[in-house]
Amino acid sequence: MSLKGKTAIITGSNSGIGLGVAREMARAGAEVILNSFTDHENDHALAAEISAEFGVAARYIQADMSQGDACRALVETAGGCDILVNNAGIQHVAPIDEFPVDKWDAIIAINMNSVFHTTAAALPHMRARGWGRVINIASAHGLTASPFKAAYVAAKHGVVGMSKTVALETAEEPITCNAICPGYVLTPLVEAQIPDTMAKYDMDRDEVIKKVMLERQPSREFATVEQLGGTVCFLASDAAAQITGTTISVDGGWTAM
């Protein structure tokens, strides 16, 4: 499928899922806007590498997704977009009665509030262009729950609900809004956790992955960033023009249980 002629903003995209999504969208021909809260040479170099590899325009724009004004400014600095991929997110694990208030506030701001701000800023541009896609990277935790993840679960459930509302508000326009709900995805961050988990449980790599990390993922396989990117590209394609207000799970069967 081709996304040539489309501009995509992907929040939280200098690593992990976001970077994988940006690469797959660039492979499909889209101009991509990378984003994170840092402003390092390496961030801008990533955009240059994508541009050189796929022959598309690529830029990096720094914006702190915990700040509403910065979220909106990202869209305006980019000059609007055809495709908005809300991916930025953080995590913290603790019992709810011990959950640090600052962590709660940060998770809600970055994982959920940013989606509101970027979408509100992007929709007028999409309407002016006569076409648009809002694709929110939620989580299996947007459909189910786990203990000790109160803020993350609340935020991701909120993203799923917001996706449905945006879909209804744009239902008579050539604009769609959907949420992708990944299970565990093999990212550099997850990869870095494997050795410590092996030591903790005295297991080899395969045992740790299948029996500990992917205990709730029936396929016993990680999703990949390329698979997430491919799903985003599908939702951005004309084939998905009548898919709106729903969730697509990429979770190896997690939410089937």
φ, ψ dihedrals at 59, nearest 5°: -135, 155
> What is the phi-psi region of residue 220: left when phi exceeds 0, alpha when psi lies from -120 to 50, beta otherwise?
left
**Would you call 150 helix, strand, or coil by DSSP?**
helix
Question: How many percent of the chain have pLDDT more than 70?
Answer: 100
184 is catalytic: no
Digit-coded pLDDT (tens) for 103-145: 999 999 999 999 999 999 999 999 999 999 999 999 999 999 9
Are 159 and 245 in contact by the 8 Å Cβ rule? The answer is no
Question: What average pLDDT does the segment 77-96 reach?
Answer: 97
Q: Quick one: pLDDT at residue 189?
A: 85
> Residue 119 and residue 156: Cα distance in Å, rounded?
16
> Residue 8 and residue 132: Cα distance in Å, rounded?
10
Query: What pTM value is reported for the model?
Result: 0.97
Digit-coded pLDDT (tens) for 33-64: 999 999 999 999 999 999 999 999 999 999 99
Task: Work out the mean pLDDT of the chain and round it to a whole number.
Answer: 97
